[in-house]
Amino acid sequence: MEDILVHQKFEKNTEIDSSDPLLTIQANDKEGQVPSLISYLNNYQDTHSDIISIKTTDRLVITKISTIILAEIQESELLIYTNSGVVKTRETLHNLYQRLGDSRFVQVSKHGILNLDYLTSLEDSFSGNMTAILKNNVKTDVSRRYVKILMERLNI
C-alpha cells in the first residue's frame, strides 16, 4: 500500500466480539485516501495465496501473482505477460484486476494493468500519454487519463 498517513483511535465497545471487530472509516467524503485505504483493508482481509488460475481455451494455467508483469487486451483476448511467457485468455481485464486483489497492480489504460514491481521507467509519449517500460522488454501505453493515478502510486 502506498504511504498513507492514517489517524487512529481505538474505542472500546463490549458489545462487539474482539474476534470480529467492526472498523469504521470516517472522512469528509469518499475521496482522497479513502478508496486506497478500503482497498488495502479488503486485500488484508483476503486470505488467498500468491497463486492465481487462468483459464485458456484448452487448459487451466496456474501461476504466481508475483510473476505477472502486465495484462492487456489485444483485439478480443487478454494477454497476461509473466516471467515465463504470455498466457492468452478470454477473461475480462476488470475481472482479472479484481481477482488479483494486489496493491502491486495499477491500471494504466482501459486496456491494461501492470505490476509496479516490474516497472523500470516511464517515457513521454504523444498527447500527454506515457510509455511504461517493464522488465523482460515489455512495454505498454499509459493513457493520459491514468497518468495521475500511476504517479500517485509511485509517490510522485
Q: Which residue has the cell 510473476?
A: 67
Residue 39 — very low, low, confident or very high, per pLDDT cuts 50/70/90? confident
Residue 138 — very low, low, confident or very high, per pLDDT cuts 50/70/90? very high
> 90-135, pLDDT tens digit by residue?
999 999 999 998 789 999 999 999 999 999 999 998 788 999 999 9
| Residues with Cβ within 8 Å of residue 27, at least 6 apart in sequence | 34
Pairing of strands 68-74, 60-64: unpaired
pLDDT at 1: 44
> 42-88, pLDDT tens digit by residue?
776 555 568 899 999 999 999 999 999 999 999 999 999 999 999 99
Whole-angstrom distance, CA of residue 101 vs CA of residue 6: 21
Q: Which residues pair with 74 in a beta bridge?
A: 77
